Structure 1
Amino acid sequence: MNLFTDIRSLVLDALARMQAAGQLPEGLDMGNVTVEPPRDPAHGDMATNAAMVLAKPAGLKPRDIAATLADLLAEDDRVAVAEVAGPGFLNLRLAPGLWHGVLRTVLETGPDFGRSNMGQGRRVNVEYVSANPTGPLHVGHTRGAVFGDALASLLDFNGYEVTREYYINDGGAQVDVLARSVYLRYLEAHGQEVAFADGTYPGDYLIEVGRALKDKVGEAYLDQPEEVWLEPIREFSTQAMMELIRADLKALGVEMDVFFSEKSLYGTGLIEAAIEDLRGKNLIYRGVLEPPKGKMPEDWEPREQTLFKSTEHGDDVDRPIMKSDGGWTYFAPDIAYHYDKIERGFDLLIDVFGADHGGYVKRMKAAVSALSEGRVPVDIKLCQLVKLYKNGEPFKMSKRAGTFVTLRDVVDQVGADVTRFVMLTRKNDAPLDFDFARVMEQSKDNPVFYVQYANARVNSVLRKAQQAGIAVDDATLAAADLSGLTHEAEIAVAKKVAEWPRLVEIAGRSNEPHRVAFYLYDLASDLHGLWNRGHDEPALRFLQEGDPATSQAKIALVRAVTVVICAGLGILGVTPAEEMR
């Protein structure tokens, strides 16, 4: 039940009646007609821009359209008052019974309240994390992992068929560096002194990998040239790192459907097939790029290259796909990887990248547009940096990783639920400050606590009601007489609950799961406000001594709140708190 959709349908029906009566011309585009909460709640329950957006194409004054529309809407029992405001906005006040109906629907529908069929079963691939398998995941990966996982759940809630995917960057030179680093730890495990140089990875996390390699091969690689051990150690090390990464993701509550290896693209004809597809569309050519803008690099020189004509699909410049030595550039396998996604039949692609990939967005969009001939859209989300603090001071580096704070550092400090919620308290493209002390505070300023406390408070009410012999199962509460819920504070909570289907659909349409976290905080705030008013106004208390019927009505209201909170936390991947200690 989406009350905003229902009232919008009522508005559209009234506009159709106006057209039939000759009060509006036929053929008007109604796509931009909206019904949404007014900016100022004092103006009403909902507002429509219908008169404003239709006035110009209709050749009429907005207020004239609004006045006629108001009269028609007022004929419906669901609309208590329809008022024209300003240049032609129309504010609506709805009958109180509608809010009671929303509460019943929530209790009857349960956790599926707000689910939509917006996606219509379309297949969407959400690729996120996709870190180089050279070490444990760091805090930047943590934000991308949480964002991608919550986005996948949000899309599932909105009716998409979602595949969660991790692209293993195991085809580049960095994995050779990993193998050399593990070889040093292997030598160390044999009692030799080693020195980490040439960009090798010194983190302690490779000590166990070196020992495991020793246990597997013994002395087989001692005093052997690199060509003997590089490839097998590369494979062994990559597997070990991916086991570590999988464990880190599991600790965060993230489980992937697919792990796709970049290495699998080489020597299999997949890269060649993707490039030939572009060549068949006359998008591959030999040419010389213009020099880069700004300060000229000292080593730059004009040279003929094999280029992808990405400018024909919205990019700023064409992009090289082959090096001068005949090898592929790093962009070529990425083209092939997305070509494979398209061939797998996905209707929508979403890539979640780190902030340092901003320059990669246009070229990747151009590649997908070219490969799918515009059929498959790709949305690339950039996650900005996370700054870590503890009591206001920068958090120190992880000794285990050597150079950065790991995902496991964060989860071990505050837990997966807190980590996930806090990572979604800012939009993905905004920087995020994460203070380990503050996120554990029990205060209104801590959104994690505030939302969880709301859920715990309602559960305490349910337990007390059961102890008093009051039935509080959802079926009983849905059948209760809710007509006594008339106080403005109670109706305000019901109105916020009614916004959930609209909010979750907007969040899914814009691929913005942080909207769910924001909404849950606002809903919790309304619940806490109602709870606190009960201290001074006994009639607002949820348990009315000696009056089980009134108690059930009030409990139905707050139980509906927890149904929505649990659904929202489920999208965020956070376990609802039954009680707070």
Structure 2
Amino acid sequence: MSDTQTLHAAFAARIEAVLRALELEGALPPGASEAAVTVEPPRDPSHGDLATNAAMVLAKAAATNPRALAEKVVAHLQREPAITEASIAGPGFINLRLADSVWLDELRAIAGLGANYGRSNAGAGRRVNVEYVSANPTGPMHMGHCRGAVVGDALATLLEFSGHPVTREYYVNDAGAQVDVLARSAHLRYREALGEEIGEIPEGLYPGDYLVPVGKVLAAQFGPRFVEAPEAEWLPDFKTRTVHAMMDMIRADLALLGIEHDVFASEAELQQAGKPAEAEAWLRAQDLVYDGVLEAPKGKTPEDWEPVELPLFRSTKFGDDQDRPIKKSNGDWTYFGADLAYHMQKAAHADELIDIWGADHSGTVKRIKAAVAALAQGEGREIPFDVKLVQMVQLLRGGEPVKMSKRSGTFVTLADVVEEVGKDVVRFTMLTRKPEAQMEFDFAKVVEASKDNPVFYVQYASARIHSTLRKAAAEGIVPDPAALDRLGQDELVLIRHAAQFPRLVEAAAAAREPHRVAFFLYDLAAAFHAFWNAGNDAPEKRIIVTQDPALTGARLFLATQIGQVIRNGLALLGVEAVEEM
């Protein structure tokens, strides 16, 4: 059971105290495993406020049937003043109804904790490395990168809020053939900057206009020195300088989304430092790398195929379908070989690794998980490793596919999208579906002022609360908890909903699923809008009842705390809680 100080954790502690009492009475044997005991809201709210499976889980250890054990648990719980009803359902579930005072106390707790409401130490200080974006440094960010960027950043924030020290990391793939192509593309723009008519960009080079300023900088630095020079003379320097320029551009694009990484790890530097070779030596010592020959390709074998002995990682030992080469026949490291060394480097400074990848990398998951499993085995420690695959985003405008960007040459840039609809709209929208689900981003729909637009609906709830507070202040009425006992069942329903937030945050962090926060916020906003709209037909249900300042003060206090929970949830997603719209 969690030690987080939330309403649910508090009642979990009460259940635990009852179980200790039953041990003393001899109704439960000491030391029975309670790992599977849960205390959570029932799926059907009509069954009560909380439910526990304690009797179902522990009946076997108690050598009795679940209902008999449940009766003993209920007998203890009925003595609790905070519990108005404890009943047995089905084969032995226990449903609890809580006193109104419990929910009013939770409302006060929200006010007292403010921005820390929902924060916990559930992570217990376990260090997590979250690697996300890691786009090739060959151009500006596009919407394919955007979704993974937002998912990774929100997940990192969620984990920090839940008690994990987090390292946000970006892996710069600056050692592959695509970087050579980038340097050649920059060289073409360099010649253009010096006055050469380059015409249409040749096939195989990057065509985007974003390299034009890079070419101008190179022209200013080198003059005509490398116009006719052999490639070997300028390629290394052009690679370094162009990658640096691209990473500056990528950092600026990410900043538009409010994203900053702690670490930018360079693949080129990794290789220059000999890390892949170190990884190979370490793995050979563990008998996890050996020299062998790959099987011939399945199906018809190509005429030019011939068996070559290569260093192979024993990934089949960890569930992969074949062992994987870590070097090519020319002696260069394979992408997997470098990636293996990179994950070893990350694991040296973390207790857990999380990678956010595009869905097109799904074929690599098994082998990298095998590599991390090998590392954990060799070090004799557990290194949990999770890969989140994020589907691409289809851009639409009024249902029609969006044309490509001239600046990028082949895609719509992230900067273009943020400039048009704003950071908050982009970030929230990216979290309105599970990352593995397909997503459409329609420019028209994401700015629509309707209930069907989750971004608007949640932001509108925040703005509506602030508008109500301003109106009340103009009438001389401020939030006041003095008369909270005047609140009725409609208000308590809203409090019950908001009180799920700490438990939701803890569960979302444990599952590594930040989209759960967005789903929760939409439901909470819907509950608040329903509460607010009830006053349209029944004036006595309005938040501001001018002739009853005490009740108004209590309702304003409630609205303020609902706004606080919305603000806390939006902060986890990197979205501002607006005060007016």
Is the structural similarity TM-score above 0.5? yes
1:465 paired with 2:472, answer: yes
Distance in 2 between the 1:56 and 1:299 partners?
65
Superposition map of 1:144-183 within 5 A: 144-183=148-187
Report the CA distance between 1:311 and its aligned residue: 2.3
What residue number does 2:419 align with?
Answer: 412
The alpha carbon displacement at 1:224 in A equals 1.3
Deviates more, 1:263-272 or 1:378-387: 263-272
Q: Determine which of 346, 352, 366 is the counterpart of 1:348.
A: 352
RMSD after superposition: 1.6
Change in CA separation of 1:188 and 1:40 when aligned onto 2, cut-off 3 Å: same
> Kindly tell me: are residues 37 and 464 of structure 1, through their superposed partners in 2, closer, same or farther at Cα, counting changes over 3 Å?
same
Q: Distance in 2 between matches of 1:379 and 1:426?
A: 19
Match of 2:111 among 98, 107, 113: 107
The answer to whether the Cα contact below 8 Å between 2:469 and 2:478 also exists between their aligned partners in 1 is no
Letter matched to residue 253 of structure 1: G
1:432 aligns to 2:439 (yes or no): yes
For 2:168 and 2:31, the matched residues in 1 are separated by: 43
The 4+ residue runs of structure 1 with deviation greater than 6 A are none
The match for 2:385 among 378, 389, 392 is 378
Once the two structures are TM-superposed, the CA of residue 26 in structure 1 deviates from its matched residue by 3.5
Query: Does the CA-based 8 Å contact 2:478-2:556 persist in structure 1?
Result: no
The answer to whether the aligner puts 1:88 opposite 2:92 as a matched pair is: yes
Conservation of the 8 A alpha-carbon contact between 1:305 and 1:322: yes
Cα distance, 1:40 vs structure 2: 1.0
1:395-410 superposed matches below 5 A = 395-410=402-417
Structure 1 counterpart of 2:291, one-letter code: R
Q: 2:142 aligns with which of 138, 144, 147?
A: 138
Task: Give the secondary-structure state (helix, strand or coil) at the position aligned to 1:220.
Answer: helix
CA distance in 2, matches of 1:375, 1:298: 45
In the TM superposition, 1:9-158 aligns within 5 A as 9-158=13-162
1:441 aligns with 2:441: no
Cα 1:40–1:295 shift into 2, 3 Å:
farther
Match of 1:528 in 2: 529
Asked whether the 8 Å contact 1:96–1:486 carries over to 2, the reply is no
- Per the alignment, do residues 118 and 421 of structure 1 end up closer, same or farther by CA in structure 2, a change over 3 Å counting? same
Single out whichever of 289-298 and 421-430 deviates more from structure 2. 289-298
Q: Distance in 2 between matches of 1:256 and 1:516?
A: 22
8 A Cα contact 2:122 2:163, kept in partner: yes
Question: 1:513 — aligned with what?
Answer: 514
User: For residue 291 of structure 2, what is the aligned residue in structure 1?
Assistant: 286
Counting aligned pairs with the same residue, the percent is 54
* Displacement after TM superposition at 1:294 (Å): 6.3
| Cα offset, 1:203, TM superposition | 1.2
1:481 aligns with 2:483: yes
User: 2:159 and 2:499 mapped to 1: Cα distance?
Assistant: 20
How far apart are 1:257 and its partner, in Å? 1.2
Cα-to-partner distance string for 1:366-405 (whole Å, 9 max, x where unaligned): 2122223343222111111111111111111112111112
> Which deviates further from its counterpart, 566-575 or 266-275?
266-275
Q: Deviations 1:282-302 (Å, cap 9, x if unpaired)?
A: 111011233455676665544
Distance change in 2, residues 1:350/1:95 (3 Å): same
Residue identity in the other structure for 1:243: D
Residue of structure 2 in register with 1:201 after alignment: 206
For residues 350 and 13 of structure 1, the distance between their equivalents in structure 2, rounded to whole angstroms, comes to: 36
Amino acid paired to 1:436: F
**Whole-angstrom distance in 2 between the partners of 1:273 and 1:305:** 17
**Which amino acid in structure 2 is aligned with residue 193 of structure 1?**
E
Supply the distance in 2 between the matched residues of 1:63 and 1:538 (Cα, whole angstroms): 47
- For 2:31, give the aligned amino acid: G
Structure 2 spans left out of the alignment, 5+ residues: none
Are the counterparts in 2 of residues 127 and 167 from structure 1 also a CA contact under 8 Å?
Answer: yes
Q: 2:391 and 2:511 mapped to 1: Cα distance?
A: 18
Listed as ranges, the matches of 1:232-381 within 5 Å are: 232-292=237-297, 300-343=305-348, 345-373=349-377, 374-381=381-388
CA distance change for structure 1 residues 283 and 109 in 2, over 3 Å: closer, same or farther? same
CA shift, 1:314, in A, is 3.3
On the 8 A contact 1:277/1:371 being kept in 2, the answer is: no
Structure 1 residue 63: deviation in Å?
Answer: 2.0
Aligned length: 573
Name the residue aligned to 1:389: 396
AA of the residue aligned to 1:276:
A
Q: Which string of whole-angstrom CA distances, capped at 9 and with x for unpartnered residues, describes residues 111-146 of structure 1?
A: 101100011222211111001100111111000110
Give 3-state SS (helix, strand or coil) of 1:32's partner. coil
Residues in 2 aligned to 1:267 and 1:150: alpha-carbon distance in whole angstroms: 33
Q: Deviation at 1:217? A: 1.4
In structure 1, distance between residues paired with 2:304 and 2:258:
46
CA distance, structure 2, for counterparts of residue 96 and residue 296 of structure 1? 74
Change (3 A) 1:294 1:570: farther
1:20 Cα deviation after fit: 2.4
SS at match of 2:272: coil
Question: What is the SS of the residue equivalent to 1:481?
Answer: helix
2:8 paired residue number: 4
Match of 1:573 in 2: 574
- The farther-off stretch of 159-168 and 287-296 is 287-296
Instruction: Name the counterpart of 1:499.
Output: 500
TM-fit CA distance, 1:439: 0.7
Q: CA deviation at 1:53?
A: 2.3
**3-state SS of 1:167 partner:** strand
Residue by residue over 1:467-494, the C-alpha shift from the partner in whole angstroms, topping out at 9 and shown as x without a partner, is: 122233xxxx3x423111122x211110
SS at match of 1:266: helix
Q: TM-score, normalised by structure 1?
A: 0.95
Give the stretch that moved more between structures: 16-25 or 144-153: 16-25
Deviation of 1:59 after TM superposition, in Å, equals 3.8
User: Counterparts of 1:49 and 1:456 in 2: how far apart (Å)?
Assistant: 40
Q: Return the offset for 1:342.
A: 2.3
Unmatched tracts of structure 1, length 5 or more: none
SS of the equivalent of 2:224 reads coil
1:447 deviation in Å? 0.5
Q: Work out the CA distance in 2 between the residues paired with 1:535 and 1:50.
A: 44
Measure how far apart 1:71 and its partner are: 2.1
Distance 2:45 2:275 in 1: 57
Deviation track 1:166-206 (CA, whole Å, cap 9, x = no partner) reads 11110111100000111111222233233533511111211
